[in-house]
Structure formats: structure tokens, C-alpha cells
Amino acid sequence: VRLVESGGGLVQAGGSLRISCLVTGRPFINLAVGWFRQAPGKEREFVAAISQSGRKSRYLDSVQGRFTISRDNEKNTAYLQMNSLKPEDTAVYFCAVDIGPPASDYVSGELDYGEWGQGTQVTVSS
């Protein structure tokens, strides 16, 4: 399975950005998806997760209400819409997938992701 993130960039505080994760090599409908981020000098942290159907999701407390995770199973793509961005959101953002059995629908735990993308840089200026 291959994951390719895109859409990162530089944005001013208060602005918005949408990043994408294109997944190939596995039936996307079987994959639970998560977004993580890693800021300089800090450990990687969970940001958001979505189930295979898209009906279930979970967020880091500090992004709840500002970020929205979604997916388009026809396009094999997951998204993270980020609004009201803050300088502390600056990080490399990674998408990851957990390969589940067919017809499953769950939000994965933070340690369950086995495949990762290379990341996309998001920089929020103050």
C-alpha cells in the first residue's frame, strides 16, 4: 500500500488549509485512516481518525471543532480540513492506514496503524 500526502503549505494564523492523502495498493474501503503530526523537537501525535465508511471519527482535543477529517472512497483519498489554524499547528502531517477485514467499520487506535505516508509540511505564521 502506498500513501501520498499533498496540500501542505504556508498559511497565516486564522487561515485554512486542506491536506489530502491518496492511497493506492489496497481496497480503500477496507482501510481505517488516521492523521498524525510531528512538530520540530516533539514526538508524533495523533490528530484525527476516520472509519472505513466515514461515519465514525475521533479528534485530538485541541483540534476538535477546527479540523474535520473526511474521505472519498471513490477517489481513494482521505482529507483533513484545517480551519482557524494556529502557529502551534505547525508540523509535518502524516496520514496512516490500518488494514481491516472486509466490511469492517471502526476508528483505529493510535497504535494500530501499519502503513504511513511521507508527510506534508504545514506551517502557520503568526
Task: Compute the distance between CA of residue 79 and CA of residue 35 in angstroms, rounded to an integer.
Answer: 9
Task: Compute the distance between CA of residue 31 and CA of residue 51 in angstroms, rounded to an integer.
Answer: 8
95: nearest Cα among 4, 27, 25, 1: 4
Task: Kindly report, residue by residue over 87-97, the tens digit of the pLDDT.
Answer: 999 999 999 99
Joined grid coordinates for residue 69: 477529517
Task: Kindly report, residue by residue over 96-109, the tens digit of the pLDDT.
Answer: 999 988 889 999 99
